[in-house]
Structure 1
C-alpha cells in the first residue's frame, strides 16, 4: 500500500496514512523542523510550522534538550530552540557500523573483472593493515590475500593510502613501527623517507607499493572517507609487478581506484568535506 506524500513547511513528510506511533512521528517532525531552521525557533513558531499543539511541542523539545539533541538560546524573554550536533554523532556511529565487506562488493568485482586483478578493502588496526573484503579476479593463479590477513602498514599501498590522510600527531606513534620488507626493492625503514613518500601519495591521490613487501608483487590503493570526513580505509589492487611496472600503468589503475574509493565514500555518508590534518 502506498500513500501520496507531501512535504510540509517544516520539512516533514505527511500523507494519507497516519504514523503507526503518533508520539514518535511528532518527535521526528519536531527534529526535522529544527534541523531545517539554523537560527532556531520559538515554541510558538515550532508549533505553527508542525501543526503540533504548543504543550506537546514543549514536552518534546524539553525531552530533546535533556537527551542532548536540542539546545536553546535565550534572547530577552524569548527562547530559541535548535537541533544539536548530537544527531551528527549518531550518523557517524551508524556509518562506522556499515559492513565494509559488502558496502561496494559489486563495484569491486566489476573492477577486478575489468583489470584482471583482485580488489581489496583494508582498514588500519594499530600498525597493521587488515584486509576486510576481497573481490577475486578470474584466473588460475590467485594471490595470497584474504579477509583477515594482516600486513605492516608501511609495506602496503592500502596502508600508505590510509596514513597519508592522518594528522601529523597521529603519525608520530606509527613512525616507530616501520617494518622492513623482504622484496628486492625494499628500503630500510627511514621516517624521513616515509614522510616524503606520503607527500607523493597525497599529491597523486593514490599509493603504490612495488616489490617492497615481497618479490614480483605490486599494489596500488586509494583512500575512502566516512561521514565525519576522516579516512575510513582504502581500496586497492594486487598484481604481478610486471603488470604495474610503468608509471602509466600505475596511474591508470590509480585513477580507477580513486573513482571506486569515491563511490565507497558516498555510501559511507561522506559529504566531500575532509577533516583538517593540522
Structure 2
C-alpha cells in the first residue's frame, strides 16, 4: 500500500472511542461517549460493543443506563510490546547525533538490583576511549545514570537500594550516608537531571536524564560522559538540553505519554 492512501474513518473513530475511555477519570454512558467522540450514537454503540466482545471494554448496568470503562487488555498488549523493545537500539541515530554534537560518548543505563548496567553506547572515534562499554556494571549511587533512575523510583523500590550504597573512590566523592543521598535524589527530582563529578573515578564526569515506559515508571537513563575538565558549565548545559530531548524521544518510543511533565530543562 502506498503512503498516500487515505486513512480509514472507521478505524479512526474506534481509536478515538478507545482513547476517550482510557483517558476518562470516570465511567461514561454511551450518550456521553458519543458526544465526546463527536460521532453518531449508533456508530459509537457498534464500536463499544465490538470492544466489549474483544475484552477491551466493559459496562456496568445501573437500571436502564450502561456505564462503560476500559479493561486491562490494553495494558497486557503494551507490556508485551515493551518487552520486545531493545534499549540498545531504541535511539541509535539520536544518540549518535548527540555524541557528535558534544564530542563525547552517550550511554543508556538500566538498574539491575543495586547495580547500574550500561546497555548501549554511542562512542567517539579516537585513541582515548572511556571504559563504559555495554555490559559494564557500576554501583548505582556513584553514577549519574544510576542516580537519575533512583531519584524517580517509588519508595518501595528505592528503600532496599539505600541499604547498598557504596563509597566512591574518586577525589570528589562525598561521604555516603542515606540522609545525604536522599537529599541528592530530591534535588535530582526537582531539576530533572543527575550529575556525577569524579565520584566513581578521578577526572570523569557525567550528566544523565531518566526516561520512562508506558506505565510512567522510570525505565532507565541516558547520559553524556566526558573528562571533568571538559564537561564544564556550558558543556553541561548543552548536554542536559540534548539529553532531555533524547529522553523524551526514548520515553515516547516506550509508550510513555507524560514524560515531558517529569523531565524538564
| TM-score class, shorter | 0.7 to 0.9
Structure 1 CA distance, aligned partners of 2:45 and 2:183? 59
- Give 2:98's aligned residue: 111
TM-superposed deviation, 1:131: 0.6
Structure 2 CA distance, aligned partners of 1:235 and 1:273? 14
Structure 2 CA distance, aligned partners of 1:275 and 1:92? 22
Structure 1 CA distance, aligned partners of 2:67 and 2:186? 46
TM-superposed deviation, 1:76: 1.4
TM-superposed deviation, 1:33: 7.1
Assess, with a 3 A threshold, how the Cα gap between structure 1 residues 36 and 159 changes in structure 2: closer, same or farther: closer
- Give 1:154's aligned residue: 141
TM-superposed deviation, 1:136: 0.5
Assess, with a 3 A threshold, how the Cα gap between structure 1 residues 229 and 143 changes in structure 2: closer, same or farther: same
Q: Is the 8 A contact 1:208 1:250 kept in 2?
A: no
Q: Give yes or no for the alignment of 1:255 onto 2:238.
A: no
Assess, with a 3 A threshold, how the Cα gap between structure 1 residues 191 and 37 changes in structure 2: closer, same or farther: closer
Q: Is the 8 A contact 1:96 1:226 kept in 2?
A: no
SS at match of 1:35: helix
TM-superposed deviation, 1:123: 0.6
Structure 1 stretch 203-212 or stretch 125-134: which is displaced more? 203-212
Q: Is the 8 A contact 2:193 2:210 kept in 1?
A: yes
- Structure having the higher Rg: 1
- Give 1:25's aligned residue: none
TM-superposed deviation, 1:99: 0.9
Structure 1 CA distance, aligned partners of 2:154 and 2:44? 43
Assess, with a 3 A threshold, how the Cα gap between structure 1 residues 36 and 168 changes in structure 2: closer, same or farther: closer
SS at match of 1:263: helix
* Unaligned 5+ runs, structure 2: 22-27, 35-39
Q: Give yes or no for the alignment of 1:269 onto 2:255.
A: yes
TM-superposed deviation, 1:97: 2.9
Assess, with a 3 A threshold, how the Cα gap between structure 1 residues 248 and 236 changes in structure 2: closer, same or farther: same
Q: Give the RMSD, CA atoms, in angstroms.
A: 2.9
Q: Give yes or no for the alignment of 1:64 onto 2:47.
A: no
SS at match of 1:242: coil
SS at match of 1:243: coil
Q: Is the 8 A contact 1:116 1:138 kept in 2?
A: no
TM-superposed deviation, 1:275: 10
Structure 2 CA distance, aligned partners of 1:250 and 1:274? 20
1:126-185 residue CA offsets vs partner (Å, 9 max, x unmatched): 000111110001221001111111110001000000111112332211100001122112
TM-superposed deviation, 1:219: 1.1
- The aligned length equals 247
Question: What are the equivalent positions in structure 2 for 1:112-261 lying under 5 Å apart?
Answer: 112-244=99-231, 246-261=232-247
Structure 2 CA distance, aligned partners of 1:166 and 1:151? 18
